[in-house]
Amino acid sequence: MKKLMIVMLMMVCLGGVVLAGTTDTVDITVTPVVTASLAISPDTYNFGSLDVNVSSNSATALTLTNDGNIDIKVKKKISDEDAGGDGNWVADSSTGTKDHYVLYCGTATARPGLSDFAAGTLLGAENAETYLTGSGATSNGEGDGVVVPATTGNTVDLWFKLSMPTSVTNGDERTMRLTFTAVSQ
């Protein structure tokens, strides 16, 4: 027993008393610099002269490029349904009313046929914003949107279908202005 007491005394003297230390935390914060950006080339498409009450699709694609540094989805809308016109030209979901046209926009790797433009590619009324989808998409919510990566494969081809009104007020050339907006993913 005497030996045990000596060993314990030596441990206390040599090792000292061990007390619990305190702890603290540090928060490290960073804000990534991201650029959700896109470019479209060329920036116009001309359907040329079309008869009333017919539909036509674009013969060549416009190229949408993600020129930012983050993956994006793209919102699309008709921002001016009769740019520079007399105000008679109206974007719609049917062509049954005088001066009402229907415009579609979708992505595809090759030229889609007229019947390939599904409901998800419909632009609809002026300022009705939807997500850019593939030409065969049946809906155009955020979950349906095409992701355009920031790296390899950072382009998609945009294709259009225009359904002309059944009748028109006059034969003036019409311009429809579309706006595409990059949304970071």
- The range of the structural domain enclosing residue 132 comes to 51-184
* 142, two tokens: 């955020």
Question: Which of 144, 129, 160, 132 has its CA nearest to residue 48?
Answer: 160
CA distance 133 to 106: 5
What is the pLDDT, as a whole number, of residue 17? 57
Contact partners, residue 9, CB within 8 Å, separation at least 6: none
What is the pLDDT, as a whole number, of residue 152? 83
59 assigned to some structural domain:
yes
- Stretches where the chain sits below pLDDT 50 are 7, 9
What is the pLDDT, as a whole number, of residue 20? 76
What is the pLDDT, as a whole number, of residue 130? 94
57 assigned to some structural domain:
yes
99 assigned to some structural domain:
yes
Domain count, the chain: 1
What is the pLDDT, as a whole number, of residue 138? 84
What is the pLDDT, as a whole number, of residue 184? 92
SS3 for 94?
coil
Half-sphere exposure of 157 (CA within 13 A, CB side): 11
102 assigned to some structural domain:
yes
4 assigned to some structural domain:
no
Q: Where are the alpha helices (DSSP H) in 16-132?
A: none
What is the pLDDT, as a whole number, of residue 153? 86
What is the pLDDT, as a whole number, of residue 14? 52
What is the pLDDT, as a whole number, of residue 9? 47
